Structure 1
């Protein structure tokens, strides 16, 4: 649901979280500065795989295809918590989510769309960087593995574990995102990346 580089990551989460309950909002931190050339280079890709969500209220999963072309993205999800196929599309200033169950929901930002669709307020706009094994803000804390790849990111209330299939891979094949809640409970999102283009 991301309009800029932040749009795409929110879109994936919005659809999968359509049935989730409200959570506490954590104010996003300063985003890293990027030049227009870097944004186009880093944020043009296509990935697909499976995403699963487990909250205190419920859990579910969906298959996704995410295409990012600079500031424009499209995400298609199937099997998302029993709501069927969902299409999310965004560009700066406009994000839409369309499914048979919800109809079309529009917003000017990924966060606004997420709140409209789920009632959930959270800074999930960093996913586009996390799938590329990079922190999204200057306040992020990172840990590296023996191959000097980022293996953990702690950022804006989320603990992200990046898993690589083998020692030669530079980008992760799996991300596990955890958000700690009260009473030692947590929200957990598992994103498996099966293909990258």
Structure 2
């Protein structure tokens, strides 16, 4: 029987190696910078935050946008307060954790499901990978699923490929003095489907 450490390492290698190896855009490399492991650990530990921004979704036959009035993250638990055209006019609330979501519509109707992406799709017709977005928004691949990373010439993470999506990091910003730069604008594409996030403000949460 293989030692557990060896099994874990082999699984990690498979996670990175089993994606289809398409050519990367010019100027990008799979070679991470020397400080990537430290930066990755810092971002993984940054799991209590409050941010505001905007969300836009464009998919075949439908599109819409929303203001993220407040995205509160506490470890794996998230709560998003949205307004504008997302799910119709008015306010919408998403609250959940991996494998569970509760969605409150503008009319007060509340729905819960063990399939977060499925519930959002049923309510809106949009494919929004909310569980993975919790990681992608920080500039990290989700721990659930294979992935491929690409870095630019300055050593900044430029792209993540995961779950059929390609996430491009278009702008980074130093929101807090004691944190590494965080994504200020990213676009996730899956075929003709597009999800764009723009972060206006980002602050540590109460437990951080």
Common topology (TM > 0.5): yes
C-alpha deviations, 1:50-75, integer Å up to 9, x for none? 01111111211100121001122210
- Match in the other structure for 2:201: 195
- Match in the other structure for 1:33: none
Question: Using the alignment, how far apart are the partners of 1:89 and 1:132 within structure 2?
Answer: 18
Gap regions ≥5 residues in structure 1: 1-28, 31-36, 181-185
Q: 1:148: Cα distance to partner?
A: 1.3
Alpha-carbon contact 1:123-1:156 (below 8 Å) kept: no
Pair 1:106–1:42, CA change in 2 (3 A)? same
Pair 1:106–1:76, CA change in 2 (3 A)? same
Which residues of 2 match residues 48-197 of structure 1 at below 5 A? 48-64=52-68, 65-81=70-86, 82-91=88-97, 94-101=100-107, 103-118=109-124, 123-137=129-143, 139-165=146-172, 170-180=181-191, 186-197=192-203
Aligned residues: 159
Over the aligned positions, Cα root-mean-square deviation in angstroms equals: 3.2
Alpha-carbon contact 1:55-1:187 (below 8 Å) kept: yes
Question: Using the alignment, how far apart are the partners of 2:62 and 2:106 within structure 1?
Answer: 21
Give the secondary structure class of the aligned counterpart of 2:186. strand
Which has the greater radius of gyration? 2
Pair 1:73–1:165, CA change in 2 (3 A)? closer
- Match in the other structure for 1:41: 45
Question: Using the alignment, how far apart are the partners of 2:94 and 2:79 within structure 1?
Answer: 6
Gap regions ≥5 residues in structure 2: 1-13, 16-40, 204-208
Pair 1:91–1:55, CA change in 2 (3 A)? closer
